[in-house]
Structure 1
Amino acid sequence: MRLLATLALFLLSALALCAQRENNTWYFGHNAGLTFDGGTATAVRGPIFTAEGSAVWSDPVTGRVMFSTDGQTVYRADGSIMPNGTGLLGGFSSTQSALIVPDPASPLTFYVFCAGDLSWSTPDNPMLSVNVVDFSTDPAGVVTTKNDTLLLGTAEKLTATMHCNGRSFWVVTHDRDLPKFYAFQVTRSGIGAPVVSTVGQQYVVPPTARGGPYGQGMLKFTASGTRLAMASPFAERCEVFNFDAATGIVSDVQLLGTGRYYYGLSFSPNEQLLYASTWSLDQNVSGEVLQIPLNGAGPPVVVGQFTRSSILVSGGMQCGPDRRIYIADGGAVDVIMNPDGIGASCVYRDRAFTYTDPVRSYIGMPNVIESFLDPTLMEYCAPPLAAMILDTMVCVGSCITIDDRSTIKPTSWEWTFNGGTPSTSTEQRPPKVCYDRVGTYSVRLVAGNRFGFDTVLALVVVRPLPTINAGRDLVLCDSAYGRLSATGAVRYEWEPSSSMANMRVPDPIVRPFTTTTYVVHGWSADGCESVDSVTVVVRLAETAPIVYTADPVNGKAGDSVDVVIRRTTGTVYEPTTIRVAMPARALYGPRVIAGEAPVVERPASDTFIVYITDNGATDTVGIIRAQILLFSGTDTLEISGRSPVSCDSVVGQGAGITSTACGIMYRIVELNGQPMAIVEVTENGRRVLIEAQPRTTVELGLYDVQGREVCRTTVVMSERQAVIDLPCELPAIGYLRLRSDTMIITRSVILR
C-alpha cells in the first residue's frame, strides 16, 4: 500500500491545487471551447456566449468541469444555470470579465471575481465585485453570495497568482484612470484590504476612448508570480512590472512597446519572452502577434497575423496546460506551438482550430491563475510542506522505497527510520530501507528551507513470513500418480507445473516421469511470501529382479501352495520358499506352512502380506505388491517389505501377475481380461482418486481389519478420473473394495 503522508490536507493548501487538472477544459466566445484530455487540445462546445472574458474550473483530480462563468452567468457542469447564478456584475465585453479563485479554507468553496464592462455597457461599469460558489450543500453548486463590491473605478484587467507562502492568493486589478494597482490577498480568513501600488506612467487618451486610459486590455502574471505585464490598447502601451509575492507590491515598470493597440498578453513558459496581440483600426491592415524578448534581449518580432475579418474581434491569449499559447482569432483559434522558441522557431499555426457558425472564438480566452501552470517556478517565502510516499506494509526481510513529495522548495531533508536499515539519511531520495524484525516502526521526515521546517510522520507495519512446509519427499513408480501436500499459507503456487493437475492448490496431484523437485510459493493473508520444496523420486522398472513361482498354479480353497521367491539385484540369492495355505473366502487369515520369512496376518478372505528378509541381512526388501492368480478366483497375494522405497518389476512364472505399484497407490491394468481401476488412497484422510472408464458406476466399500464394513459409497464416472470423499475416515489398517456395473473388481488394498 502506497501512502501520501502530509500535514496539509489536499486542497486546503493552495500549492496542493497546482499542476493538477483545474484548467483541463476552457469555454470562451460564442459557445466555443477546448479540452486537454489526454494532453492534446480538442475543440468542444460550451455553454458560454460572450465576447471576451470567461473562466472555467475543473476537478483537480478527474479533470471534469465543475462550473464556468462569463462574469454575468454561472453555469453548472451540465451547462444549466446555477441557482442564483444570473446577474453578476461582469460584462459581455469585459477583457477579463471573470476569475475563479479557490477558497484556501475549503475545497468546496470558490470565489468568482468579476471585472465590470467598460466598452459594451452604457454607462460604463468600472468596478471589481466578488461572488461565492458553494458545493458543500449541493454537489452541482449554488451561488451563495453575489455581487459584493470590493472596489469602484477599476479597469477590465483582472488576474491572480499564488502568495509566496503557498497557502493564499493575490488577486490584482488596475485603476481605470490612474497608474494604480490593487492587490487583494485571499486567505483562509477571507479577502483582505487591497495593497495599493502607484507605479508607471500616467496615460492620456482622447475623451472618446472607451474605458479610459487603462480600462481595456489584459493583465498577466508569469507562472513564477514575479513579473506582471499590462496591455492598454487605446493608450498604445505594453509594459511589464516586478511583483513581490510576499507583500503584493508592484514596482519597476519597463516599457516594452508603444504606437500599437496592444490587447492580449501571454508569457512564454520559460518566462524569457512576452507575446502580445495588437488590434488594427484600419480595415486594410491585419492585427498582429508580437514576440517581445524580455530583459533587452532584442527587438519585438512579428510571428503571426490575424485574418482581416477578425479586426477588433481577435487577440485574447492564454498559455495552456500543454505549454502552448492559444489565441482567439475571430471564428478560429491560432496556436503558438513552441512559445520558448525564438522568432520563427516558435511555430505559429494560423487557424489551428476552426468552428462552424454560430460557434466562434470571438475575442477572448478564459482567465486562469498562471501559477497553476507550473508551480515549480514559484519563489516561495514559507517553510516547506513536508510529504512523502511509501509502502506502509512490508514483509520481514524486505525493503521499501520512500519518495519525497515535499513542496514549497525544501532545501534540506532529515530522515529517521526507526527499526530500519539504514536508520537515518539526509538525501532527498533516501536509499531503500530494509526491515529484519516484525513490528510497527515510524518514518519521520523533517523538510526545511531558509524560512523554517516542517515534519511529517508515517508508520510502517512489518509482517512475518508464512511458515511453508511442502511435505515429505515421495517415491513413485514410473508413470504413477502422487499427491503433494503443502501447509502454512493461504495461497499457493507450484513450479514446475507441467506434470501437475493444478498448480494453485495446496495438494496437487502430480505424475512426473523423471525425478522432479517441486517448489511451492506460499503467501500469507498479508501478502508475504515464503518457499519450500519437495522431491518426488521416480523409480523406473528394471529387468525382472524378483521372480515368483507358485505350485500348484490351480487349486481350491484349503489347498496348500508353495510360493518360491527369487531376488536377483546384483547378487544372486538363494531362493526363498514360503508355503501358504489359501483359505476359503469365508475364513480369515492365510497360514504359513513352510518358509523362514515371518508373516503378518491381515485378516481378510483374500489378502495377506508376507515380509521377506534377505539371506543373512537385517534389512527388508522394499514394498512389492503383485496380484497372483493362484486359483480360479480373484484371491490376492501381496508380498511387501517394511520400507516403501522400492518399485521393482515383477515377473510371474506360471502365475497371472498383472502389474506392479508402490507407495500408497496401486494400478491394475487387467484382471481376467477386464480393465481395472487406478486407485490412490491418501494417508489419514477421506479422499480416494479413481481412474476408470467414463459412464462406469463404481461402488467403493471400506472395511476394518476384521472385515466389517465401515462405510460404502457409489460414484458414476463422468470422466476418466474422479476424486471421491468417503463418508468416513480411512482406518490405519483396513481394506478398500471396488465393484463396477460392468465387471467385478474385487480388489482388497492394504490401507496404511
Structure 2
Amino acid sequence: MILFLAKGVNAQGEWNNWYFGIKAGLSFQNGNPLSVPYSEIQCSIITASISDSSGQTLFYAHGFVVYNRLHQYMINGTDLMGGQIQGCQPVVAFENLSLENAYYIFTVNEYTTQPPPITPTAGLRYNIVDMGLDNGNGAIIEGEKNIPVPGGENMSTCITATRQQNNHDTWVIGRSVATGDDFFVAIPVNKGAVGSRITSNSTINCNNGLIQPKHIKINYNGDKLVCLYVSSSSQSEFCTFNKSTGTVTPLFKFSPLIGNPYSAEFSLDGKKLYILEHRSNYDDLIVQYDATLTDLAAFMNSAT
C-alpha cells in the first residue's frame, strides 16, 4: 500500500510506483500494473513511496529504513524510529513545500508502558529528505532526523495524511493512546512548519495502550476516516474529518462480520469502504461497506 501526497491536483506520475513489504511492488508507469520484484522491504508493514512527476521512483520507506531510487540504503536513512509490528502503518511521506526538492517522512512507533525488551515509545517524529544530496539519490539532512513532534509523544502504531482545505498544506493524523491523552490527533504541516496538534475525542478508550489502533485510513477527498483497533471486540470507528479545522467526528463504532479487521481502503470516489478481515487459517475476507451511510445499522446491512 502506498502512503504519500502529490504536490498538486495536476500531478501525474507521483502515484505510479508502489513498493510493498515482502520484496513486492507494482508499477503503473505504462498504464497497466506491472510487478516490480526489486523492493528491498522484507517486513510486512505498510510503506510509503515517493516518485517524481514523470513517474520515476525517488525513494521508499518503512518505519525504520529509507531506500533510494537505486534500492540502496539512503544516506542517513537507517535507524528511523517507526514501528515494526506486522501490519502496522508507521510511516507517511509528502513534499516539504518550504524547500526545493525536499520531502517529509513522518514515523510513529507503538506505545507501550512495558519494560525492555519491548520497543520503547518513540511517538510521532519527522525526518527531512533533500533529493539534491548524494548526486540526486537523496539523503536525510543532518540534524533533521527523528525530530519529535510536540504533542505526538503518545501517538501509536498508525498514521495517515491528507491535504488541508486549501489543497496545499497537509494534516498528519493518528491516535494518541495514553491515559489522559486518549484522542485522535491531527498535526498541521503548513509551508514547511510543523504546527500544534488538534485533538478530537474518540468513542474507544485505548486504556493506556492495552487497546492499540491498528490501521487508520482517510478517503481521497479527505472527509471520511476509519480507524481499526486491536482488541478483544475488534471494534472500529467510522468518522468524518474536517479538512479546515483538523477535527475528527466519530459517527459510530462497528465490529467486522467475521474475524479481525486488518486493513482498510476507500474507493476513489469515497463511496465504498473495503476492510480486510483476518479469519482462521489465513482464510481472509475483503468486505465492502457503503461509506455514504451515517447510520450503524444501515452501514452493517450494506456489507457484501
Relative to the length of structure 1, the TM-score reads: 0.35
Instruction: State the distance in 2 between where 1:58 and 1:15 align.
Output: 11
| Matched position secondary structure for 1:48 | coil
Cα displacement (A) at 1:212 = 2.5
Residue aligning to 1:96: 89
Residue aligning to 2:23: 31
Instruction: State the distance in 2 between where 1:18 and 1:96 align.
Output: 27
Contact 2:6 2:94 in 1 (8 A): no
Aligned length: 282
Residue aligning to 1:187: 190
Residue aligning to 1:272: 271
Cα displacement (A) at 1:118 = 5.8
Instruction: State the distance in 2 between where 1:111 and 1:130 align.
Output: 7
1:231 counterpart letter in structure 2: L
- Residue by residue over 1:117-176, the C-alpha shift from the partner in whole angstroms, topping out at 9 and shown as x without a partner, is 469x72353511111101234411111111111122212110000000122000011013
Structure 1 segment 537-548 matched on structure 2, within 5 A:
none
Instruction: State the distance in 2 between where 1:85 and 1:298 align.
Output: 43
Residue aligning to 1:105: 98
1:195 counterpart letter in structure 2: I
Residue aligning to 2:127: 131
**Bigger relative CO (Cα 8 Å, ≥ 6 apart):** 2
Cα displacement (A) at 1:246 = 0.6
1:111 counterpart letter in structure 2: Y
| Matched position secondary structure for 1:22 | helix
Instruction: State the distance in 2 between where 1:163 and 1:19 align.
Output: 17
Residue aligning to 2:162: 161
Structure 1 segment 582-661 matched on structure 2, within 5 A:
none
Instruction: State the distance in 2 between where 1:171 and 1:241 align.
Output: 16
Instruction: State the distance in 2 between where 1:36 and 1:77 align.
Output: 16
**Which of 223, 233, 250 is the equivalent residue of 1:226?**
223
**Which of 204, 208, 216 is the equivalent residue of 1:201?**
204
Relative to the length of structure 2, the TM-score reads: 0.84
Contact 2:276 2:284 in 1 (8 A): yes
Contact 2:226 2:238 in 1 (8 A): yes
2:147 counterpart letter in structure 1: D
| Matched position secondary structure for 2:217 | strand
Residue aligning to 1:149: 148
Contact 1:53 1:93 in 2 (8 A): no
Residue aligning to 1:57: 50
Instruction: State the distance in 1 between where 2:283 and 2:122 align.
Output: 30
Residue aligning to 1:16: 8
Instruction: State the distance in 2 between where 1:277 and 1:228 align.
Output: 16
Residue aligning to 1:240: 238
**Which of 70, 79, 82 is the equivalent residue of 1:87?**
79
* Runs of 5+ consecutive residues of structure 1 not aligned to the other structure: 1-12, 303-342, 344-752
Contact 1:30 1:50 in 2 (8 A): yes
Contact 1:30 1:49 in 2 (8 A): yes
Residue aligning to 2:247: 249
Residue aligning to 1:71: 63
1:127 counterpart letter in structure 2: G
Residue aligning to 1:604: none
Instruction: State the distance in 2 between where 1:301 and 1:290 align.
Output: 10
Instruction: State the distance in 1 between where 2:256 and 2:41 align.
Output: 34
Cα displacement (A) at 1:216 = 3.9
Contact 1:126 1:156 in 2 (8 A): no
Contact 1:229 1:241 in 2 (8 A): yes
Q: What is the Cα-based RMSD across aligned positions, in Å?
A: 2.6
Structure 1 residues 223 and 18 mapped into 2: Cα distance closer, same or farther (>3 Å)?
farther
Structure 1 residues 17 and 68 mapped into 2: Cα distance closer, same or farther (>3 Å)?
farther
Is residue 289 of structure 1 aligned with residue 286 of structure 2?
yes
Structure 1 segment 706-717 matched on structure 2, within 5 A:
none
Cα displacement (A) at 1:96 = 0.9
Contact 1:67 1:77 in 2 (8 A): yes
Contact 2:256 2:277 in 1 (8 A): no
Cα displacement (A) at 1:106 = 3.0
Residue aligning to 1:41: 33
Instruction: State the distance in 1 between where 2:155 and 2:16 align.
Output: 30
What percentage of aligned pairs have identical amino acids?
A: 25
Instruction: State the distance in 2 between where 1:76 and 1:278 align.
Output: 33
1:245 counterpart letter in structure 2: K
Residue aligning to 1:263: 262
Contact 1:50 1:93 in 2 (8 A): no
| Matched position secondary structure for 1:172 | strand
Cα displacement (A) at 1:104 = 1.9
Contact 2:111 2:154 in 1 (8 A): no
Structure 1 segment 332-481 matched on structure 2, within 5 A:
343=304
| Matched position secondary structure for 1:217 | strand
Cα displacement (A) at 1:257 = 2.6
Structure 1 residues 256 and 44 mapped into 2: Cα distance closer, same or farther (>3 Å)?
same
- Residue by residue over 1:571-598, the C-alpha shift from the partner in whole angstroms, topping out at 9 and shown as x without a partner, is xxxxxxxxxxxxxxxxxxxxxxxxxxxx
Structure 1 residues 69 and 298 mapped into 2: Cα distance closer, same or farther (>3 Å)?
closer
Instruction: State the distance in 2 between where 1:69 and 1:114 align.
Output: 10
| Matched position secondary structure for 2:221 | coil
Structure 1 residues 14 and 289 mapped into 2: Cα distance closer, same or farther (>3 Å)?
closer
2:203 counterpart letter in structure 1: G
Cα displacement (A) at 1:203 = 4.8
1:212 counterpart letter in structure 2: L
Contact 1:14 1:166 in 2 (8 A): no
2:272 counterpart letter in structure 1: L
Structure 1 residues 278 and 124 mapped into 2: Cα distance closer, same or farther (>3 Å)?
farther
Cα displacement (A) at 1:39 = 1.8
Cα displacement (A) at 1:38 = 1.8
Contact 1:118 1:216 in 2 (8 A): no
Structure 1 residues 92 and 175 mapped into 2: Cα distance closer, same or farther (>3 Å)?
same
| Matched position secondary structure for 2:41 | strand
Name which one, 1 or 2, has greater alpha-carbon Rg: 1
Structure 1 segment 729-748 matched on structure 2, within 5 A:
none
| Matched position secondary structure for 1:112 | strand
1:196 counterpart letter in structure 2: T
| Matched position secondary structure for 1:66 | strand
Instruction: State the distance in 2 between where 1:113 and 1:97 align.
Output: 8
Instruction: State the distance in 2 between where 1:164 and 1:149 align.
Output: 26
| Matched position secondary structure for 1:184 | strand
| Matched position secondary structure for 2:77 | coil
2:74 counterpart letter in structure 1: M
Residue aligning to 1:323: none
Structure 1 residues 108 and 50 mapped into 2: Cα distance closer, same or farther (>3 Å)?
same
Residue aligning to 1:677: none
Structure 1 residues 134 and 79 mapped into 2: Cα distance closer, same or farther (>3 Å)?
same
| Matched position secondary structure for 1:30 | coil
